[in-house]
Amino acid sequence: MAANLNDAFRSAANQIRQRPVNLTSNQEVCRLYRHSMKTLLAWCVDRDIFLDEAALLRERFDAERGASSSAVSRLLKEGKEELFKNTHPDPYCVPFMPGGSLFMRNPPPPLEVCFPDGNYPADAPTVTFNPDMSVSKVETGKSAVGTVLVDFTKKNME
């Protein structure tokens, strides 16, 4: 009986578990560049220094443009290793995102708390907000309904 329950739970989990996305090499390079720029921003607090270093980083990426597929996979591996090696211990994050100083500082209270009788004024906002204070939309998949996973080590939401 226990084995059957475990199998049932495993099959249910496999159905809702997200499959890893197969990215093209161009998409991987774009993501590596974006993460590299964010890491560089965490290390360079002066804007002038950041712009100079960002230009050098862009030159490094542009120098390898049009490389063969075997070279691209090698360069991506080396780039990810370098990015991991240079990761900042306390990366910069936007103040209203997880880990920021404004994260969920003044979340709006639910309307049910403000108006327990259910008579909402006409100008009351009827939208719900995500933890980053963006409007929750079910059609975009970014919904405040349910749970929001916050990884405080990476300072991001999943």
Which residue reads 């996973």 in tokens?
149
How confident is the prediction along the chain (158 residues), in pLDDT tens digits per residue? 556 777 887 887 777 776 777 889 899 999 999 999 999 999 998 999 999 999 999 999 999 998 888 899 999 999 999 999 999 888 887 777 777 777 777 777 777 888 888 888 888 777 766 666 667 776 655 555 555 556 656 655 55
Distances (CA, A) of 73 to 25, 56, 91, 102: 8, 22, 27, 39
Retrieve residue 57's tokens: 């980083």
Task: State how far Cα 132 lies from the chain centre.
Answer: 11
Which residues are CB-neighbours of 125 under 8 A, at least 6 positions away? Answer: 108
Judge contact between 132 and 144, C-beta under 8 A: no
| CB 78, CB 130: distance < 8 Å | no
Alpha-carbon span 15 to 109, nearest angstrom: 35
Record the pTM.
Answer: 0.59
The structure tokens listed for 30 are 């774009």
How many alpha carbons lie under 13 Å from residue 133 in its C-beta half-sphere?
A: 13
Residue 32 and residue 80 in contact, taking contact as beta carbons nearer than 8 Å = yes
Which runs of consecutive H residues, i.e. helices, occur in 44-128? 47-63, 69-85, 111-114
